């Protein structure tokens, strides 16, 4: 049998922590070894209990998630950290990633995404889902730190109202099925709009569409 992935959870909200621990222990090949409510408690237990992945609450008493992450990055560089928060704030995300956190999750993410995040940070060293990627890209584009170019797109490209609506809904992370429902269109029709948008913009995926829309002022993030 494979050794279980050893997890630590640092979360001051007892009910949420209990639910998260229970959910993590139900995942295959995953076991929670540390369950604490503060950053200082986590650091104390890590002196004697080794772990592979840590779930850190962004807001905690004594040391918050970022402050705790700074210390862990220095003392335990091999340990992977995932930040938990109620908010998709670009400042929170960037601050967490700059201080050694490998990925950012919100507290309403599904068990499947949390499981994927654990595997990803262990295999690749990071985990960024579509939502987090779009937020980061939006922030970087808006601040001028990233200036994407779209050589295949004509500078005089025009979009229909429905295409602009589809682009906006893509930026809100809606699937083709969800966009179709919102716009009262067939899912296949939305797939067609998405293909047309990608051809017009030169984008290769949803993140590219969002990046183009932000740069051109079509989408606000």
Tens of pLDDT, residues 176-211: 899 999 999 999 999 999 999 988 888 777 767 877
Query: What's the pLDDT score for residue 142?
Result: 66
**Fold that domain 148-215 belongs to in CATH:** Arc Repressor Mutant, subunit A (1.10.10)
Pairing mode, if any, of strands 5-10 and 53-57?
parallel
Provide the residue ranges of all domains of the chain, joining segments of one domain with +. Answer: 5-128, 148-215
pLDDT given for residue 153 in this prediction = 47
pTM across the whole model:
0.66
Structure confidence at residue 52 (pLDDT)? 97
Please state the three-class secondary structure of the chain as a single string: CCCCEEEEEECCCHHHHHHHHHHHHHCCCEEEEEEECCHHHHHHHHCCCCCCEEEEECCCCCCCHHHHHHHHHHHCCCCEEEEEECCCCHHHHHHHHHCCCCEEEECCCCHHHHHHHHHHHHHCCCECCHHHHHHHHHHHHHCCCCCCCCCCCCCCCCCCHHHHHHHHHHHCCCCHHHHHHHHCCCHHHHHHHHHHHHHHHCCCCHHHHHHHHHHCCCCCC
pLDDT (0 to 100) of residue 110: 87
pLDDT per residue as tens digits for the range 50-102: 999 999 999 898 899 999 999 999 999 899 999 988 877 777 887 888 788 88
Q: Residues 4-53: pLDDT tens digits?
A: 999 999 999 999 999 999 999 999 999 999 999 999 999 999 999 999 99
Distance CA(221)–CA(136), nearest Å, equals: 10
Identify the CA nearest to 137 among candidates 109, 170, 160, 184.
170
- What span, in angstroms and rounded, lies between the C-alpha atoms of 141 and 61? 34
Which residue from 141, 111, 116 is spatially nearest to 211, judged by alpha carbons? 141
5-128 CATH fold: Rossmann fold (3.40.50)
Mean pLDDT for 162-175 is 87
């Amino acid at each position: 049998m494979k050794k279980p992935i050893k997890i630590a959870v640092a979360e001051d909200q007892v009910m949420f922590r209990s639910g998260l621990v229970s959910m993590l222990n139900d995942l295959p090949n995953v076991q929670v070894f540390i369950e604490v409510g503060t950053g200082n408690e986590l650091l104390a237990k890590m002196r004697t209990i080794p772990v592979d992945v840590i779930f850190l609450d962004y807001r905690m008493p004594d040391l918050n998630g970022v402050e705790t992450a700074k210390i862990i990055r220095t003392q335990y560089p091999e340990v992977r950290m995932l930040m938990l928060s109620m908010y998709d704030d670009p400042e929170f995300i960037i601050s967490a990633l700059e201080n050694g956190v490998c990925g950012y999750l919100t507290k309403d993410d599904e068990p499947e995404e949390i499981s994927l995040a654990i595997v990803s940070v262990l295999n690749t060293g990071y985990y960024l889902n579509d939502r987090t990627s779009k937020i980061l890209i939006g922030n970087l584009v808006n601040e001028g730190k990233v200036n994407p170019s779209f050589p295949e797109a004509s500078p005089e490209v025009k979009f229909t109202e429905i295409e602009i609506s589809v682009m906006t809904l893509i930026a809100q992370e809606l699937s083709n099925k969800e966009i179709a429902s919102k716009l009262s269109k067939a899912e296949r029709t939305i797939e067609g709009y998405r293909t047309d948008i990608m051809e017009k913009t030169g984008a290769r995926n949803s993140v590219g569409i969002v990046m183009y829309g932000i740069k051109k002022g079509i989408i606000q993030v």
